Structure 1
Amino acid sequence: MDRRWLGDRALSVPVLSLGTASFTSGPWSGNDAGAARRLVDICLDEGLNMFDTADVYSGGNAEMVLGQAINGRRDKVIISTKAGLRTGEGEHDVGSSRSHLLTAVEGMLSRLRTDYIDLFQLHAFDAMTPVEETMEVLDDLVKAGKVRHLGVSNFAGWQLMKSQAAARYNGWQPLVVHQVYYSLIGRDYEFELMPLGLDQGVSALVWSPLGWGRLKGGGKHASAGRHKDATPDYAPPLYDETLLERVLAALGEVARDTGKSEAQVALNWLLQRPTVASLIIGVSSEAQLRNNMEATGWELAAEHMRLLDEASTTPVPYPYWHQRAFPERNPQPV
């Protein structure tokens, strides 16, 4: 499997990563430890060696199952995990304070059966804690050898820049990753976060690259109305059902031209976008995992990229529509 660098050659990662939210029972109808180990086996055989999890996935059980699944081969895998969302009822069971992050990392190391975390990310911005406190404790965790590389998830542009500036000003470990939602039906990432990532050397790990399964194709997609009742609050929003239908039509056309599935086309489009280092895929079966893996090792032709770009384009918010009128001084990421 192809590999890319996070940040300024901070860490080499595969272009696909396996999300572990489905590793245990809970809202994701997950797998037991044996099934999870089988998925890990398949991934490692194909060169996919990064696994993304979080302390809130099934109350920490996903990390425990991942730890069991990689037991005896820790040196062969890259662990990506996240903390910051609420994990208990206590005052310090949420956020990015020194107290919470130190406790959270110790719990993660225990559940994952490891001495270090390859990539640790803040799961959300904490407006109640000074960024200097947060970035300093993250630097301390790196110096202690418990964490090797740092990132964030779901930050606004100013939040990411403020955190990165605090790290650079104080000589602390910088951020190399932003875990973001990005798909053919959700291109908001491109407006501010993508140029910021290019400027600051922050690569994108993409979650829900198929738009919460809406881009799987094969006649199995649902309309916005049919999605509404079954879609949880944390799922990516579907702004316009017309957009979905337009994108699915373009995906179908490209799939027929290339002999690939709609899902493979949608994933491949993302892999050709600036700053994207790896796509986090969530699967419920071996067949789905193998199908998604076939999105790599080839590239869409320029005409197919244009077709998908045009089908997925939505109005640009201010001030970006104004800036795009002056490309000489505000070139678009390529």
Structure 2
Amino acid sequence: MFDFRDLDRPIIGAPMAGGPSTPELAAAVTNAGGLGFLAAGYRTPEDLAAQLSAVSALTGGPIGVNLFVPDAFQPDPALLDAYVASLRPETEALGVEVGQPRYDDDGWDAKLSLVLDARPAAVSFTFGCPDSQVLKRMADAGILPIVTVTTSAEAEFAVAAGARALAVQGPGAGGHRGTLDQRSVPTDDRLEDTLAAVRSVTAVPLAAGGGVSGPSDVVRLRGAGADAVQVGTALLLADEAGTNPLHRAVLAGGQFAGTSLTRAYTGRYARGLTNRFILEHSDAPAGYPHLHYATAPLRKAAVAQGNADVAHLWAGTGFASARPEPAAKIVEALA
């Protein structure tokens, strides 16, 4: 079974759903000696199958696939209705309608079957911990099952369920936090402290990520107990990334000074560049994927219209260090 400790370079390309993660990016990270990931979240099973086929033609090295774990949580109807109503001035200004809030499982069963058929080196799970049967099926197929965690308590729970490795995510990470319970406010404990706490309760391989901006961060996290370091924001401007033009322009242009944690776009806490929409919609309730579907037309229109005040611009705290370069060069510099 694949092991982080066997990588030529201890760098993992974090899965970035919604476009940035592409077969080309995943293959480039792997071919540079790291572990590249495909992000299955938001994609149809057919899209994932095509990406798995594409990446296999670009590399013979290890590849990971990330899946969103379904969450049966149902948001408070009154809070959800009030939040949807608050979005209407935004959508009217963009010339679109508010999306219909709803639940789905992101094609969970079909994607599990695809992963088991394709047998990538690793599969990681975000937004929850799958049941022990799922993790065992992956391990029995020779696929390293990884669970994303943010605390030592989550780590103990995941390892007890059968996780063979953990992705330990710190507060500086861009995009969605991996907190298992979407109702909980994510911890802001330092990543090094969380790593130490996780290492004290398990011996499984650990990948650490969140706010990584340069090789000194890699050295620091490796010294704190990480077997590999996971980077996402550092790869957003990579030549092979599918990052949309607005997101690229904003990251390269330096027009935003910082990042914020918000539920405004999807109902799950996520870190992005601090814009007007985040500041004015701080009252968003927990409710993924319901809010994700409600804001989907708004987000799509904002990107298409180049409206950085409204678009979701996921980024970690190290965003200022992102550079437009080939992914191989980024991986080599980090390692």
Q: Which TM-score band (shorter chain)?
A: 0.3 to 0.5
Does 1 or 2 have the higher relative contact order (CA < 8 Å, sep 6+)?
A: 2
What TM-score comes out, normalization by structure 2 length?
A: 0.48
What TM-score comes out, normalization by structure 1 length?
A: 0.48
